[in-house]
Amino acid sequence: MGEKTLIHKIGLHLHWVIPSLGFLGGLNCHGCSPIGIFFIFAIATPIYFAPSWVAWNKNHQQQDAIVILNIVAGWSVLGYIVALVWAFKK
């Protein structure tokens, strides 16, 4: 067997994490379809950037710092929570 591509590795992990998305076009142990990847990113992107969006809508004084924190550390649960709480504070 050849080396698995990044898409196949992502598909394997997503199959275990989000098995209910299998109907999106063949998400199974052999990888995932482009449609499935599109829907995952279409849902995950707005959620990921929610702290930045809140800071921008509230015209937060530290908006730039919140956006940077969201981009740099938002992938971690702690960084995301800190950015979200900070965005809601005055």
Quick check: 23 and 40 in contact, CB under 8 A? Answer: no
State how far Cα 45 lies from the chain centre.
Answer: 5
Q: Global pTM?
A: 0.61
Quick check: 66 and 90 in contact, CB under 8 A? Answer: no
- Per residue in 11-36, pLDDT tens? 555 554 555 555 555 545 456 678 88
pLDDT band at 4 (very low <50, low <70, confident <90, very high): low
Query: Which residue type, as a one-letter code, is found at position 1?
Result: M
